[in-house]
Amino acid sequence: MSPSNTNLLQGTLDVLILKVLALQPMHGLGISNRIAQVTSNTFVVKPGSLFPALHRMEEAGWLTSTWGESENNRRAKFYRLTAAGRRQLKQETDLWARISAAMARALKAT
Amino acid sequence: MLFWPKLNSLWRNLTERQKVEADLANEIRSYRELLEEQKIREGADPVTARREASIELGGAEKLKEEVRDVRRGAAFDVLGAELRQSLRGLRRNPSLTVLGTTMLSLGMGACIVVFSIFQSVLLKPLPFREANRLLTISETRVDRGIDHASFSEANFWDVRSYNHSFSEVGAYHYDEANLTGFGPAEKVVACEVSAGFFRTLGVSPVLGRDFSYDDDRGGFRNSVVMVGNKFWKTRFGGDPRVLGKTLRLNDKAYVVIGVLPPGEPWIDDQLYMPFGYRPDADRTSWEFQVMGRLKPGVTGEAAQADLAQIAASLAQSFPKEDKGIGFVFTPSSTWVASDTTRRALWVLLGAVTFLLLIACLNIANLLLARGTARMREIAVRTALGASRARLTRFVMMESLLLNGLGAAAGLFVAYLGIGLIQSVEIRGIPRLADAGLNTWVLAFAVFIALVTGVLSGLAPALQAPASGIAAALRDGDRQTSSRGQGRLRNVLVTGEVALSFLLLVGAGLLIRSFKELMTVDRGFHTENRLMFTVSMPGSYWEKGIGKQFLDRFFERLKTNPQVLAAGAVNQRPVEGGDPGMGIDTPQSSAPPPWAGWRIVTPGYFAAVGLPLVRGRLFDENDKPVWIPKDVPPYPRRVILSDRLAKQIFKNEDPIGKKVVLWKGQSSGLAEVVGVVGDSRERGLAENPTLTVYLPYGTNALTSEFVVHTRDNPLALVPTIRSLVGQLDPNLPISDVRSFDQVVYRSVAPQRLNAILLSIFSVLALLLATTGIYGVLSYSITRRTPEIGLRVALGATRSNILGMTIREGLRPALIGVLLGAIGAFWLSRYLATLLFGVKPFDAVTYLAVATLLLATAALACYIPGRRAIQTDPASALRIE
């Protein structure tokens, strides 16, 4: 199974986006690249998943967007975390920590 | 939390659609450019980079669609698109839309009319605080077969003092008074009420004060009066300075102390005076209506038990008057409409529900037929990826839209209908004038539109996507639909016929019963009779002024060539009250029969057309049975109605025999001088009453006049008015009507029911016929090739016609059978509304079955004829 085929668990993409944006505001391609980078290419986010996710999270009030200049002086839409987004990231991080610990224990057992 | 941004984005998505869309397009473009650049930086040549970027993006439109789906308010978009699509569908098919809307508007219009009356009569609350705690208390004498009677004055005071269940008990005594000082003398309703009456009802005056317990204390009549709101508005123009003014009633002055709020008609246009407590109050004449307000937490049963104890002690303390006394309650909900009216309205509501269901089935049928015709379109949509849910929703939406249109048109129909009913119906249906399209009724219209929309969309919606796509695409629009669908449509027709059968039987029974009611032997004769009321104040009872007026009036009237007979009575037949007494022979020890008593002038019997059966009528020598103390005793004489005479004297000749009047309360003997025919005094639907007639006189006056005229009785009214005016300008004339009108008005609920049900059943018949016709003509069209083949193979025209009619009649026949079973079961609820007709009336059932089958056959015949005219060659060529 190639890494890029790994299905994103429900909710995984949201946490990844939140996490990536926690460092600095980014545009869509930046987010996609960054996710690939931090997960060592385990997750490759295609625009077909990325765009709906970004818009959904923006509507949920976790992100805001502004038009700005990219590193190469191109106009691009930059997403930034809101306070609600930070809270959400905190919650999700805790949740993931619990889940992964539980999963690790469960799989190690027997 | 986060409510605001959500609302904000919803608002933006819905209102700034273009801006949002442009933003999304820009964002996608910018992403593509960035991606291309990145690829080039990674070493790809521009062409490859562009191609790879495009592949990765996977189509801008698809991407946009996916983003749109997550947007808030996306559901609105889909809904809007579907709504537009349905509207387009309806516009493309105007015949279906017009036909469907018309059918629905009739069904819904009828429903809304009945509901608006129903709402105003049965649902609108009484204008009294916590009306559910209010009830009427009646006396009973179960041993004498009296289960509802008014109160005697003394019993009221006792119940008021000794009960533990009611926070207030009030009584009123209906009375009328002559009002002078506002133009010509006028009869007004002036009730006497106990001081707590309005507190019992929970009504507080809008102006001035309520009666206090001082007003009815001390055994004297205080000359104060409270006025109803309408009375105040019409007579005083709503002037707040009315308080302290004086009203002259029966030539006595009363001071206005309060004005009541607007309310029920019977509380609005009246005057109220307090009646005082008297230790020697009468215990034998039942004239007081008593109402009680239950204390919080006290149940009806507990109050019943409480009053049973009072009844027991009353029976013990006053064995003569209160032997066998008991008390019953009637809830205040019956104050507006009698049980008959309530039941009649329920029956009507049931009837319109059936009618609406029929309309619903018809719409379902229409949509089904259209669904079949659109098989190819639906198949194409399915092939293009429309989901099953979406197609179902689409059909459902169409049905809802059609029903919405139907409801809107139905509201208009109802608006006209209510106006029409109100213009022909004045009395009989209480609160009818209040019925109209209010919020309740509008909500009801929306509700039925939704329910019928879902109901009539159900079958077509479920059928829509089920059919095989491939088959549909291959066969095209003309494909023969599945066997199952044909069966479904037949089931719908069966349902329509069965429901129509129910409606027609109901209407038939009510019409027959109404006819019976109008032709029943009334006893009296109503044609060419004028009735009017001349009420005389109490002072006319003294010194013979009243008797003098009566005598002079009849003497003058007799000279008029138009007048055949004239007389007067103290209670108007059919409309008036029914005071009664126990009456029997002195020897009898059985409980005496209870008979209504009437004071009459000698001419009364001829005037109302009651025949003399035996003996003689009254003459000038017969005097009132109430013998004044200062007059030497004279023989008392009475006339009995035929049934009463038979009940008292069995087969003996009653003439010259003695009876005891008010048996059980007094021992006054009277001689029977005559027996007259029975009459339906209490209304046509009631059995002939037992009546004892008493002669009029100085202290026994009559106010209800009956004049038998040669021609149109109402033409005599001006003559009567001027005659009364000449004799005594202080006496008001009121309630002028022909006897026919009196009777006509008394059967208003029955008539309204018969008329409305007839209209509804004609509509039902029409709808069912359209349904049968539609189904059959559709199936014939579909089978044209088959019929052509049959003809080509040698089937005769009558073979073909017979086949189509048989096919169409089968569901109708099953419908008739089911309808008959249903009607047999349901008509029991009609039983109490029927008069002279049994709920299972074979004639009605047969007539309805014949009518329905004949109409169904006709509906089959027309498409059948088209079928036999098919030219076999061309029919086969269609294939």
* Residues of chain A with a CB closer than 8 angstroms to some CB in chain B: 27-29, 33, 46-48, 51-52, 55-56, 58-61, 67, 70, 72, 74-77, 84
Asked if B459 and B498 sit in the same domain, the reply is yes
Chain A residue with CA closest to B20: the answer is A55
Asked if B768 and B686 sit in the same domain, the reply is no
User: Comparing C-alpha atoms, which of B69, B88, B98, B96 is closest to residue B397?
Assistant: B88
Asked if B163 and B281 sit in the same domain, the reply is yes
Asked if B365 and B241 sit in the same domain, the reply is no
What pLDDT was estimated at residue B479?
46
* CATH, residue A90: 1.10.10.10
**φ and ψ of B569, to 5 deg:** -145, 160
Total CB pairs under 8 A between chain A and B? 70
**φ and ψ of B521, to 5 deg:** -70, 115
What pLDDT was estimated at residue A71?
77
What pLDDT was estimated at residue B219?
47
Q: Which residues from B are below 8 Å from A27, CB to CB?
A: 30-31, 34
Helices (H) and strands (E) in chain A, counts: 4, 3
Sign of the CA dihedral with A31 first, then A34, A36, and A38 last:
negative
Contact criterion met (CB < 8 Å) for B27 and A29:
no
ipTM confidence score: 0.86
Asked if B59 and B164 sit in the same domain, the reply is no
Q: Which residues from B are below 8 Å from A48, CB to CB?
A: 58, 62-63, 66
Q: Are B612 and B646 in contact (CB under 8 A)?
A: no
Identify the domain containing residue B727 by its residue range: 536-731
* Residues of chain B with a CB closer than 8 angstroms to some CB in chain A: 1-2, 5-6, 9, 23-24, 26-28, 30-31, 33-35, 37-38, 56-58, 62-63, 66-67, 69-72
Asked if B564 and B582 sit in the same domain, the reply is yes
Q: Which residues from A are below 8 Å from B66, CB to CB?
A: 48, 51-52
The helix/strand/coil state of B517 is helix
Asked if B696 and B560 sit in the same domain, the reply is yes
What pLDDT was estimated at residue B464?
55
Chain B residue with CA closest to A69: the answer is B30
Taking each helix axis as running N to C, give the angle between helix B784-792 and helix B748-782, from 0 to 180 degrees, rounded to the nearest 10: 60
Contact criterion met (CB < 8 Å) for B71 and A55:
yes
- Domains in chain A, number: 1
Cα-Cα-Cα-Cα torsion B789, B793, B797, B800, nearest 10 degrees, comes to -50
User: Comparing C-alpha atoms, which of B325, B331, B333, B328 is closest to residue B138?
Assistant: B328
What pLDDT was estimated at residue A5?
38
- Partners of residue A50 on adjacent β-strands: none
Query: For residue B456, is it within any domain?
Result: yes
- Domains in chain B, number: 4
- When scoring A32, A33, A55, A80 by the number of chain B Cβ atoms within 10 A, the one with the most, hence best to mutate, is A55
Q: Are B157 and B216 in contact (CB under 8 A)?
A: no
Identify the domain containing residue A81 by its residue range: 3-108
Asked if B330 and B344 sit in the same domain, the reply is no
Asked if B435 and B392 sit in the same domain, the reply is yes
- When scoring A26, A32, A50, A51 by the number of chain B Cβ atoms within 10 A, the one with the most, hence best to mutate, is A51
Asked if B300 and B191 sit in the same domain, the reply is yes
Query: For residue B417, is it within any domain?
Result: yes
Run means of pLDDT, 10 residues per run, chain B, 879 residues: 66 76 87 87 86 82 79 72 78 82 90 89 79 87 74 88 89 84 79 87 86 65 82 86 86 87 75 81 80 89 89 87 84 76 85 89 83 73 71 82 91 90 70 81 91 84 61 53 67 88 89 89 91 84 85 92 93 83 84 87 93 91 87 90 92 90 79 93 85 91 92 91 88 88 84 85 85 77 77 82 83 91 86 84 90 86 78 66
What pLDDT was estimated at residue B809?
86
Residue A76 CA to chain centroid, in angstroms? Answer: 18
Q: Which amino acid is residue A34, in one-letter code?
A: R
Query: For residue B399, is it within any domain?
Result: yes
Choosing from B72, B92, B108, the residue where a domain stops is B72
How far, in Å, CA of B772 to CA of B417, rounded? 28
Query: For residue B526, is it within any domain?
Result: no
- Partners of residue B600 on adjacent β-strands: B569, B695
Q: Which amino acid is residue A32, in one-letter code?
A: S
Asked if B379 and B449 sit in the same domain, the reply is yes
